[in-house]
């Protein structure tokens, strides 16, 4: 989970501050020294870490925060604001509205995830109603064009390619093709190298000069830490990039690159890759990322993910059936499938305020959801529609069909009945509604995935 190590250490520092009640200037300096060490361990640039903690100390002392009624909370507020400022203060969106078609040029070293993220970006823009076109300009790496075709097909986005032709000729032809066929976004997948060299940079400069991209997005691997920052600085110096796509953020527990890139290059992070699937890409929001680091959750991103990945008509229909107490196993199965689209349970829970800290060291088994789904899929359509049909022989058949035990089937049935009873009680109380993540909390089968005393 991104920033897990850093978040844990900063939370420990804040816990010490809160336990003190009143704070002295020395208390703040000591705390910020520990925060600086945590940042350095997270592979944050030394100068960035030093300037950050100095700014917090200066504000805390200068604004007479220490004399307030809740000095620790005020210091945390300052840390949150400075952390947001460090990553860019406000979200910077892709520059896709000035020209038609908008041209996004992706560059970076080999292995950073350039080709995959070109397709992810295309899939994201397609969902927003755009008509993107992927352009294959990596004519050197074996199978690079074929890889782009594969991921382009998965994203249902066409790929323009001319084999091993000169990349400048390819982008010029692609631009004409896009204009003729109504594509409003051109996403160029350029060649990479194992290291920055003169030939690579000259080719990128030639492409830039030929089509004047609206956005030059550098794709960097967040797991390389300070190397990612150094690569970003080098590309920016030579190419004047307009933004960064940070990949593999889900696998980087340190997060140093995300905290350093903006400060070192002056260029914003525009997107982050959060997994292997095509939908695992997010627009970067500095204030939301700061909240995640400080263990405050990220409800806005969670709500956006739910809106983008869940069928809202089906969700409304299910909510109506719940309200009328007509919810059956078919609905529960559909609910589970909707939740699975949003990613791992641990990832979803980490975005809830105050929950991230509780689950850092907890092993949450996502396969439990698959086991519960297997039980329901082993039921006949009649059994799923009418839960009252269940009897011992049916339960034995369902257990055998799903590879589970009869006790597991009984547990699901019991939890389902408890949920129905709970919803009946809630619906009987006027004006009281219970909201939450679909499939979480009171949903049958979820209890075994949660840590003790979690909910």
Residue 82, pLDDT > 60, answer yes
pLDDT tens figures, 289-335: 888 777 665 445 555 555 555 566 666 676 677 667 778 888 888 87
Domain count, the chain: 3
Bigger pLDDT: 108 or 275?
108
pLDDT tens-digit series, residues 103-143: 999 999 888 889 999 999 999 999 989 999 999 999 988 88
**Same domain? 344 vs 405:** yes
Give the number of other Cβ atoms within 10 Å of residue 322's Cβ.
Answer: 18
Average pLDDT, the chain: 81
Same domain for 444 and 319, yes or no, is yes
**Neighbour-count burial of 288, counting CB atoms closer than 10 A to its CB (0-12 exposed, 13-18 middle, 19+ buried):** buried
**Burial class for 7, CB neighbours closer than 10 Å (0-12, 13-18, 19+):** buried
| Residue 164 falls inside a structural domain | yes
Tell me whether residue 222 is exposed, middle or buried, using C-beta atoms within 10 angstroms of its C-beta: 0 to 12, 13 to 18, 19 or more: buried
Edge-to-edge strands, sheet with 185-190: 159-160, 132-137, 185-190, 102-107, 215-221, 243-247, 269-273, 281-283
> What is the rounded distance in angstroms from the CA atom of residue 389 to the CA atom of residue 349?
35
Higher local confidence (pLDDT), 302 or 432: 302
- Domain-embedded: residue 92: no
| Contact present, 145 and 219 (Cβ < 8 Å) | no
H-helix or E-strand containing 282?
strand 281-283
Domain with residue 175: its CATH number is 3.40.50.300
Whether 251 shows a pLDDT value over 80: the answer reads no
Reduced to 3 states (helix: H, G, I; strand: E, B; else coil), residue 402 is helix
Residue-number span of the structural domain to which 62 is assigned: 4-86
Kindly state whether residue 288 falls inside one of the protein's structural domains.
Answer: yes
Domain stops at, among 274, 296, 318 = 296
Q: Where do runs of H (alpha helix) occur along 324-405? A: 329-340, 345-350, 356-359, 367-377, 381-385, 392-402
């Amino acid at each position: 989970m991104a920033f897990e190590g850093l978040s844990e250490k900063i939370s420990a520092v804040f816990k010490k501050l809160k336990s003190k009640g009143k704070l002295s200037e020395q208390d703040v300096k000591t705390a910020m020294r520990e925060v600086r060490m945590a940042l350095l361990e997270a592979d944050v640039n030394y100068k960035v870490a030093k300037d950050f903690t100095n700014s917090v100390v200066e504000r805390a002392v200068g604004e007479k925060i220490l004399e307030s009624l809740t000095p620790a909370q005020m210091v945390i507020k300052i840390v949150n604001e400075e952390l947001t400022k460090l990553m860019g203060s406000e979200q910077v969106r892709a520059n896709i509205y000035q020209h038609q078609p908008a041209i996004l040029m992706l560059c970076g070293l080999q292995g950073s995830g350039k080709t995959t993220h070109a397709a992810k970006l295309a899939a994201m823009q397609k969902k927003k109603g755009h008509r993107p076109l992927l352009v294959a300009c990596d004519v050197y790496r074996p199978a690079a064009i074929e890889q782009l075709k594969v991921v382009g097909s998965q994203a249902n986005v066409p790929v323009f390619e001319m084999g091993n032709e000169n990349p400048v000729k390819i982008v010029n032809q692609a631009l004409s093709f896009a204009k003729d066929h109504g594509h409003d976004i051109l996403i160029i997948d350029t060649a990479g190298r194992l290291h920055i060299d003169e030939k690579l940079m000259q080719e990128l400069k030639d492409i830039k000069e030929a089509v004047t991209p609206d956005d030059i997005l550098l794709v960097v691997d967040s797991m390389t830490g300070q190397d990612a920052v150094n690569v970003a600085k080098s590309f920016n110096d030579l190419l004047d990039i307009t933004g960064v796509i940070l990949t593999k953020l889900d696998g980087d527990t340190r997060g140093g690159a995300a905290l350093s890139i903006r400060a070192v290059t002056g260029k914003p992070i525009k997107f982050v890759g959060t997994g292997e699937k095509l939908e695992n890409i997010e627009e970067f929001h500095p204030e939301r990322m700061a909240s995640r680091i400080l263990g405050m959750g990220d409800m806005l991103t969670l709500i956006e993910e739910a809106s983008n990945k869940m069928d809202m008509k089906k969700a409304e229909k299910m909510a109506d059936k719940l309200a009328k107490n007509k919810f059956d196993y078919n609905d529960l199965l559909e609910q589970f499938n909707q939740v699975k689209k949003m990613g791992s349970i641990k990832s979803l829970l980490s975005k809830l305020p105050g929950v991230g800290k509780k689950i850092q060291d907890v092993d949450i088994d996502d396969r439990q959801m698959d086991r519960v789904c297997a039980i329901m899929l082993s039921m006949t359509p009649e059994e799923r529609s009418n839960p009252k049909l269940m009897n011992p022989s049916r339960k034995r058949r369902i257990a055998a069909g799903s590879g589970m035990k009869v006790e597991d089937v009984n547990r699901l049935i019991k939890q389902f009945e408890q949920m129905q009873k709970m919803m009946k009680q809630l619906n009987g109380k006027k004006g009281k509604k219970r909201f939450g993540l679909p499939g979480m909390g009171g949903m049958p089968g979820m209890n075994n995935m949660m840590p003790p005393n979690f909910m």
